Amino acid sequence: MKLIKNYQSPNFNNRKRGKPVYIIIHYTALKNYKEALLYLCDKRKKVSSHFLINQNGYIYNLVNLNKRAWHAGTSYWEGNRDINSMSIGIELDFSSNKDNNNFSKKMIKSLIIILKKLKKKYKIKSQNILAHSDIAPLRKKDPGVKFPWKKLNKNNLVYYPNEKIRFNVKLIKKWFTKNKLVTRKKMCLFMLGVIGYNTIDINSNYSYGKLVRAYQMHYLQSNMSGKFDEITLKFMIKHFLNILLTKN
């Protein structure tokens, strides 16, 4: 891993909370890392991240980890809305419609190394390593459907529900009905709210679809329907039960 500190972004301020508890993964959506560095270090753009990792695996440290980088924007997780104050932002040199349209092996190798170091240093929980689309599902879709969450999970870095957990779907649905969650949409929003997503601002079928798709981009990349179908229902129940069984 090569850590480069030659580029420093002026776009930061003081954290309003203590040490970071989240890591947010982004992609740049720009044609290369050089353009991304200029963008993230431009005072006029008012955007930054703590790190940028390019296709060759070089890691650029743009903002001191003690400072509040401006990467999350309007966001939400577990009731928190100032995610910038609570997180570390990592940008990846990737764009779905340009030459840098893959997450290279070198890039992911460097990402794995730095995630291990950050998790250990700040005692960050695996379930708190999130996509930009998790915390801002109505605005963002990065790091996208190609991002290798399962590879990070195999390295014990991120959270993935235990798929071996057994449950009775009919019994779970009966419990939902008993608690006045009588439609699939209400079931879905309730579970996503427990997981951490912002369900408060979901006020239309369009925003509901965006939220479901954001969940699928992270956990069900093989089923990107944008609909709360049977596959998503069964998987989300597993996720929901995992969260309930492991909460402190």
Residues annotated as catalytic are: 91
246 φ/ψ angles, rounded to the nearest 5 degrees: -110, 0
Sign of the alpha-carbon torsion through 235, 86, 122, 59: positive
Assigned token pair, 85: 């104050």
Q: How far apart are CA 165 and CA 134, in angstroms?
A: 24
Q: How far apart are CA 122 and CA 118, in angstroms?
A: 6
149, 154, 156, 157: CA torsion to nearest 10: -20
Assigned token pair, 195: 């997981």
